[in-house]
Chain A
Amino acid sequence: MEILTQKQPQQFQAVAEEKALSPWREAWRSFRKNKLALAGSIIVLVFILIGIFAPLIAPNGINEQAMAKRLQAPSSEHWFGTDDFGRDILSRVVYGARISLWVGFFSVVASMAVGCLLGIVAGYYGKWIDSVISRIFDIMLAFPSILLAIAIVAVLGPSLQNALIAIAVINVPNFGRLIRARVLSVKEEEYIVAARAIGMKDSRILFRHVLPNSIAPIIVQGTLAIATAIIEAAALGFLGLGAEAPNPEWGKMLSDAKQFMIEAPWTMVFPGLAIMLTVLGFNLMGDGLRDAFDPRMKN
């Protein structure tokens, strides 16, 4: 274990300057060397920028219907062609980036927050509270996640917001379990024992020492989870349980386009590509992060 506490002695760092870089910087070094991970990050960054600057990039609005121009093939006027309402697909894909990233990011942040809290409590206190929380996680994991999401949306009613909530809920146990396992090992570390010995309060130990030392795998898991969340949001959209019309959610665009697959393949190809690229980007980035943070991968 090379994870160091924040209150490490100054001279220790001075002596071992080469080896004892902060773990974050060390991770960054190894991440930088990983070409695939860099490529992934660039893809992600590009999509984030597209999402932020969507109004500047998109040539049209998301719902400018022009029935006379329906199902036109890609051209200089409409780079990605038009859909069955004569709307510019490029504009819709661009605005769709906002929706997908928004859902991906916030659903993961929410499930991370809830999952971490439950996981820390379960791992640190143990006993019955651990049993209760762990069993709840087991129950949730027993359902196929997309099925659980569909059930949640069915209860709450179909909308983008509810899809986000559903995705957040189904991802909670993943984070919870991960951090619980992490806490179980961290809490046996000497610095925690020491902190307890000097009478530090539980909350301070948990949030100042246990959590920071468990955060690396959470970040890795979080990045990968965004990819899954985007796919899940698209799946819900595809099933008509996500974004409402006329929002250009990518999954919904796919489902709207499926009947034109043969005569107008561009209606399907571009939203599909967008989903594929963002998910690929997050996955590559997540894999890179995992390698960078994993002590076993270090040489």
Chain B
Amino acid sequence: MKKKYGLLLIAFVLLLSLGMAGCGKSSSGGTEGGGNSGGGTLVFARGGDSESLDPAVTTEGESFKVTENIYETLINFGEQDTEIEPGLAESWKESDDGLKHTLKLKKGVKFHDGTDFNAEAVVFNFERWKAGNKERFYYYNSQFGDVMKEVKAVDEHTVEFTLNRVLAPFYKNLAMSPFAIASPEAIKKHGDKFAENPTGTGPFKFKEWKRNDKVTIVKNENYWKKGLPKLDSVIFRVIPENSARLNALNTGEVDLIDGVNFSDVDSIKKNDKLQAFFRPSLNVAYLGLNNERGPLKDKKVRQALNYAVDKKALIDAFYAGAAEAAVNPMPETVAGYNDAVKDYEYDPEKAKQLLKEAGYEKGFEIELWAMPVARPYMPDGKKVAEAIQSNFEKVGVKSKIVSFEWPTYLEKARKGEADTFLLGWTGDNGDADNFLYVLLDEDSIGSNNYTYYKNPKVHELFTKAQSTNDQSEREKLYKEAQEIIKDDAPWIPLVHSKPALAGKAEIKGFKPHPTGSDLLSNVEMKK
């Protein structure tokens, strides 16, 4: 008897819970961006929220993604490359010694608050960055810091920059998102709250920002480029999980997403309601070999490991083919790339041979560090590490895969605690200096040179290239450096990936920019 009651009770509870589950399934909120009158609204979903909407005080990509559309820079990058083009400055002239740069500004441009854009405004911005805290205005200090002597307004529409020494990538630096010109009046008015009240000259005006949810920007009716922007408004939404973001696109809740898993690209291409975009590569993923640890001190060992890795298999398996095998530490689009450098092709026999010559016939054991997070250049660190682990095993090198939380990972690797580690870099301004010097110069040890690679010859080439203004001379120097680096093999350069994005089929005119900050003024939605 007792048992029967028990069963009845269970059945009752089950029924009850079923009923409750039914109640819980309330309808989800209305769809945003459904209206398609006029230019319409574009909902752009991304993985994280902006840190600040004042581009000068941040280094974080999700911030620039928004500010790129609210503010403008004096010089612009090309639509899908990092060549320099006129922006708020119409033309520019450089003195013979390369220390004075005179920029002619566009006339008749107004900030969103109605004040005029002029030379005074430019000077005000530079003064602000210069006077500010070094940590706070990080990019200004790293790119211009001790080089900038004076910024002067010659007349209403002419600005003159005087430098302490030649700065080869001067114009490329000016085109970076953090050096966008903001309205002086708005900065004075909002003070500390300026980051929440961004005011620039860009195609879109700021409307509202709900932290960790969305940023809304609306069309700037008085934009100086006629007929732009085409959209009425853009909403940047935050959806952290890659698969959830793709799901939101599938259900039509959002129109455009970034951070698409390469493994999902195929199914997106097959779906005629969707389209896939690929961001031109301005990055490099590599396996760093700590030049000061154990067997890796030996150049031959580092070269052997270079021969051991099958890059083609990695690209097919983890990048859906949307990547190029990396030969040099920077992508081909960067001026100064050395085409003549030959890659170590995949050749396990050669690797074994070199290991034998180095006295490691029986192999050795190392740690192989894998990043715990997906990066644009490295979709799945742990799996790539597993593939490399098996590559290494074939030549007799045993490895243990190690991973930490992302900030810890970087900190420990920076201190030189890793034998071999996966890492990568996305360029800021497309200049060779921004890859080679930043990642491989001895001055960068302790910041971005995680391998502790040191070569006086390379250091000399880099410093020489920094202080010359002659582009072809610089390219020559960088080309020479790449040859030395190839031979020294401080890394195994893996790939230059083309990060994937996806959007509805109706989206027209969307051109992802290599720097990761996309200008949306040409985008439109067509049924």
Chain A residues with CB under 8 Å of chain B are 63, 65, 67-68, 70, 84-85, 240, 244-246, 256, 259-260, 262-263
Contacts and interface: CB of A to CB of B under 8 A. Distances in A.
B386 interface: yes
User: What are the 3 closest A-B residue pairs judged by CB atoms, nearest first?
Assistant: A67-B313, A65-B390, A245-B386
22 contacts: A63-B390, A65-B390, A67-B310, A67-B313, A68-B313, A84-B317, A85-B317, A85-B383, A85-B390, A240-B382, A240-B403, A244-B401, A245-B382, A245-B389, A246-B386, A246-B389, A246-B390, A256-B383, A259-B243, A259-B261, A263-B266, A263-B267
Nearest to B316: A67
A65 B387 contact: yes
Contacts of A263: 263, 266-267
B264 to A, nearest CB: 8
A240 B371 CA distance: 13
Contacts of A240: 382, 403
Contacts of B385: 245
A98 B263 CA distance: 31
A240 B383 CA distance: 12
Given A85-B386, A259-B263, 6 more contacts: A63-B390, A65-B387, A70-B317, A85-B387, A260-B263, A263-B266
A220 B90 CA distance: 84
A84 B318 CA distance: 9
A63 B391 CA distance: 11
B400 interface: yes
Interface in B267-321: 267, 310, 313, 316-317
A63 B383 contact: no
Interface of B: 243, 261, 263, 266-267, 310, 313, 316-317, 382-383, 385-387, 389-390, 393, 400-401, 403
Contacts of A67: 310, 313, 316-317, 387
Contacts of A63: 390, 393
Contacts of B393: 63
B383 A244 contact: no
A84 to B, nearest CB: 7
A67 B387 CA distance: 9
A244 B390 contact: no
A233 B516 CA distance: 41
Nearest to A63: B390
A256 B393 CA distance: 21
Contacts of A245: 382, 385-386, 389, 401
Contacts of A246: 386, 389-390
A66 B267 CA distance: 23
Q: Of A67, A70, A260, A263, which is in contact with the most chain B CB atoms at under 10 Å from its CB?
A: A67
Contacts of A68: 313
A84 B390 CA distance: 13
A245 B368 CA distance: 11
Contacts of B310: 67
Nearest to B315: A67
Contacts of B266: 263
A68 B387 CA distance: 13
Q: Of B310, B383, B390, B400, which is in contact with the most chain A CB atoms at under 10 Å from its CB?
A: B390
A63 B401 CA distance: 14
Contacts of B317: 67, 70, 84-85
A65 B310 CA distance: 12
Nearest to A159: B400
A70 B317 CA distance: 8
Contacts of A260: 263
Contact of B400 (A84, A244, A256): A244
A63 B389 CA distance: 10
A209 B267 CA distance: 67
A245 B389 CA distance: 9
A84 B403 CA distance: 21
Nearest to A86: B317
A163 to B, nearest CB: 15
A265 B393 CA distance: 29
A160 B129 CA distance: 52
Contacts of B401: 244-245
B432 to A, nearest CB: 33
A84 B385 CA distance: 13
Nearest to B402: A244
Contacts of B383: 84-85, 256
A113 B260 CA distance: 50
Nearest to B380: A259
A84 B320 CA distance: 12
Contacts of B261: 259
Nearest to B261: A259
Contacts of B389: 245-246
Contacts of A70: 317
A73 B400 CA distance: 30
Nearest to B401: A245
Nearest to B390: A65
A256 B313 CA distance: 18
Nearest to B263: A259
A67 B346 CA distance: 14
A54 B109 CA distance: 75
A244 B386 CA distance: 10
A84 B316 CA distance: 11
A246 to B, nearest CB: 6
A137 B261 CA distance: 45
